[in-house]
Amino acid sequence: MIKRKVKLAAADIIVLLSSLLIFGTPLYFLVINSFKSQKDARALSIAWPETFHIGENFYEAFSNQNYLIIRAFGNSVLITFFSVLGLICICAMAGYVIQRRKDRLSKIVNGCILTGLMIPPAILPTIWVMQGIGIYKTIFGMVLVEIALGIPFTTMLFRGYMGSIPREIEEAALIDGCGKFRIFAVIIAPLLKPIASTAVILQAVTVFNDFVNPLYFLPGNKNATIQLTLYNFMGKFSNKYNLLFADIILITIPMLVLFIFFNKRIIDGMAAGAVKG
């Protein structure tokens, strides 16, 4: 029994050290090179810097292009907030209906949503449609794109979690005279807090870190998102790796902190949703 516990503890330590090595080494590489001078950073080594240039590197990265990173951070926060809000409202209701209804129409809708997980977005047709209705290069248009891309996965999360909520609760509410909308708003919605927290964190990280979609659907410096500042840096400071790494650290910190503090909620929500409906 004792030997088994020792083996399990040793296995846990090995896994932990391996994880620290795999995930910690790239982070250490980024941080240590963001502290170096331009000459030292170009060597792309993990050696300790001869001289530290922390303040000047991060200030130059922060003040680049008339403090572009501040405007980009504001754009990213706006897009993330409204995208996640729209996804939670739409997908919670969609997951509820799909899980509770067993008719042919719900199966067709469910199939369409699953298809959305497999088919990549069509860039040019989407741009053509957005230009036609006048929302291309706008925050509103970008929010709609992020919502559309996030609906399949988020709906499946809510649908899976909905299977853990007993139908008897709704039946009792129907007997008491509640309508379907009131049942969802008053009874079901409060029970969705665990999976809603999971969806908020996962989608917030996904949207905030999105690089490709803003590049296509929200071009222009005034519309820059936080990830596109990295693209601008690569063009302007292609040989200044110390500033490039400093910018990476600045745009990584918000979502890294969010993930560290709320990773338990992500795991709890995913585990609670792993119930056969």
Residue 22 has pLDDT above 90, yes or no: no
CB count, 10 Å around CB of 202? Answer: 21
For 203-231, what is the mean pLDDT?
86
Q: Residue 233 domain-assigned?
A: yes
- Per cent of the chain over pLDDT 70 is 92
Going by pLDDT thresholds of 50, 70 and 90, the confidence category of residue 101 is confident
Q: Which domain holds residue 132?
A: 66-273
Q: Residue 16 domain-assigned?
A: no
Q: What is the pLDDT of residue 83?
A: 96
Going by pLDDT thresholds of 50, 70 and 90, the confidence category of residue 236 is low
Q: Residue 124 domain-assigned?
A: yes
The CATH number of whichever domain residue 93 belongs to comes to 1.10.3720.10
Contacts 24+ apart (CB under 8 A), 111-116: 113/151, 113/152, 113/155, 113/156, 114/152, 114/156, 115/152, 116/151, 116/152
Q: Residue 4 domain-assigned?
A: no
Going by pLDDT thresholds of 50, 70 and 90, the confidence category of residue 277 is very low
* pLDDT tens, position by position, 163-177: 888 888 888 888 877
Distances (CA, A) of 55 to 37, 38, 63, 252: 11, 14, 12, 18
Q: Positive or negative, the Cα torsion across 71, 73, 76, 78?
A: negative
Q: Residue 249 domain-assigned?
A: yes
3-class DSSP state for residue 37? coil
Alpha-carbon gap, residue 52 to 165, rounded angstroms:
56
Paired tokens of 197: 């927290």
Q: Residue 92 domain-assigned?
A: yes
Q: Residue 72 domain-assigned?
A: yes
- Of 260, 212, 252, 261, the closest CA to residue 58 belongs to 252
Alpha-carbon gap, residue 240 to 41, rounded angstroms:
8
* Total number of domains in the chain: 1
CB count, 10 Å around CB of 47? Answer: 10
Look-up of token digits 């899976």? 160
Q: What is the pLDDT of residue 201?
A: 85
Lowest mean pLDDT among 29-33, 136-140, 261-265: 261-265
Q: Residue 256 domain-assigned?
A: yes
